[in-house]
Chains A and B, each alone.
Chain A
Amino acid sequence: MIDAIGDYYRTYNANTHRAVYALAEEATEAYEAVRDKVAKFVNVKDRQEIIFVRGTTEAINLVAYAWGRGHVKPGDIIVTTEYEHHSNIVPWQLVAEERGAVLEYVRIDDNGELILDDLDRLLGTGRVRLVAFSLMSNVLGTITDADAIISKCKAADVPTLVDGAQAVPHMPVDIASLGCDFFAFSGHKMLGPTGIGILWASKRMLGEMVPFHGGGDMIREVHKYESTWNDLPYKFEAGTPNIADVIGLGAAIDYLERIGMKNVRSHEVLLTKYALEKLSAVPDLKIYGPKDASRRGGVISFNFQSVHPHDVAYIIDEAGVALRSGHHCAQVLMEKLDVAATSRASFYLYNTTSEIDALVESLDAVAQKFAVRGKKEEDGAVK
């Protein structure tokens, strides 16, 4: 991936879709070839429906701006879920506020799974304009029952947006068979570079949308007082694109394709199962999300009842274990779980069970340091 980016800058650095010289041709070809790779990787039939953006966040904001502002009416309901990343909440808050619409949440149960009765109830109002949800929670690891949600929404003629940032790197994803209307994901979570992501939307949807950014490449003709738009996907790719990182993403996809996403997934199921088993033996440790590794991805969030995750991460960093602590850009979920933060271990194709042993060992040391006994009267101060 790094070589592919370096190679571009060293040997065929030129802008795309403009000049007619050979280098520019080569850059354009390499850039457009990745569009085909992406389309194949997530099973999209029409390459014109693949839009390169900066990341999942920009993809969702693009939909919120270019579709939401034109389609959401006062009194409408936008539905999201309690386990969304901020990037699938805040854009909808902005649209709801601007359009006088309401944002509603599908709640989660004690197992960290969505309560789909909430969705039925909301769809029953006849006022839902969009349902936006993550295919895999970046905190709980829960794999969303997307088929159930999308079929309910289709029956009610409500479009769906799927945040695939956590799912696409970790399991096979087939957008065609999902049947959603918008799908967003990021390069940096799938061994690719930062600053590159993808929005997929059906041609019908993209056709109904106004441009997000105006500028070069997205136009057909520009006159003094009006312009016409370029064809898809370029209508939504204004300005010089992030050519190098698109090419880098292509190399990451090649790598993942060689390993096979089914193999990535089964390796992670194995690690997750192992980790869930080992972690449940650590004293006083609460594990969030589904306990069944086949229903979840390889992120495991947990908390000691009486040691703050920040302290946990800081202490075990010394043992060489990199553990994320914080709200994981999911403060709505933290509020629901009634915690300020959680510790989160994330696994990918390069992790091993011995690394999980190291994690568990260092957690045991933390428990010892704080003399964790799980006494109830001491729970007041630290949550």
Chain B
Amino acid sequence: MSSGGNADIYHEMIVDYSRNPANFGKIEDPDVTFHDSNPLCGDSIDIDMNISDNTVSDIKFHGKGCAICMACSSVLTEITKGKSLEDVRAVGKDDILGELGLEHLQAVRIKCALLSLKVFKSALYTYLGRHMQDSGSSADPAAADAATSSEEIDRLKEEVAGLY
């Protein structure tokens, strides 16, 4: 890091993503949707997902946020789209921050960067929890394949709570 000043984090990639975010928008009638916000700065993100064959077949986000929030949300959707549920469960904060060179982001901005990851993981456990219930009654082959246990859902919830 040459100087490590505040303005340094606003490199071209961040500015580009904030102006033209990837996968920005809504999905009509999504399989799962989740919303959360950061009460202090007012950043507010919704993530819609469609899941088929245990894969994130489509993901979009919308809401309001700063450049850091927009860039990280874009990267999150890019690295999770098309991936298996097993793979996306393993996506962590370093994957997002590393992609944008934000490993040394100061504590005051970390919430901006990780809000969308928090929303994503929350959407994921909402989906998994729902399917676990469904698989008890209806015969949904996808849900059976997901091999989800309530321990795994609890682990995801814990992960969300410990993000920042």
Residues of A within 8 A of B (CB): 306-311, 314-315, 317-318, 325-327, 331, 334, 339-341, 369-371, 378, 380-383
Contacts and interface: CB of A to CB of B under 8 A. Distances in A.
B109 A314 contact: yes
Interface of B: 5-7, 10, 15, 18-21, 24, 40-44, 64-70, 109, 112
Task: Output the residue of A311, A315, A327, A331 with the most chain B CB within 10 A.
Answer: A311
Which 10 pairs across A and B sit closest by C-beta, in order of nearness?
Answer: A308-B66, A310-B66, A340-B64, A340-B42, A341-B42, A311-B67, A327-B42, A318-B6, A381-B21, A311-B66
Contacts of A317: 6
- Looking at chain B's contact residues, the main secondary structure is mixed
B15 A370 contact: yes
Contact of B24 (A310, A315, A380): A380
A378 B42 contact: no
Task: Output the residue of B5, B7, B18 with the most chain A CB within 10 A.
Answer: B7
B91 to A, nearest CB: 22
Nearest to A341: B42
A310 to B, nearest CB: 4
Contact of A369 (B7, B20, B40, B43): B7
A373 to B, nearest CB: 10
Contacts of A341: 41-42
B51 to A, nearest CB: 25
A382 B67 CA distance: 8
B7 A310 contact: no
Contacts of A327: 42
Contacts of B64: 308, 339-340, 382-383
B17 to A, nearest CB: 9
Contacts of B24: 380-381
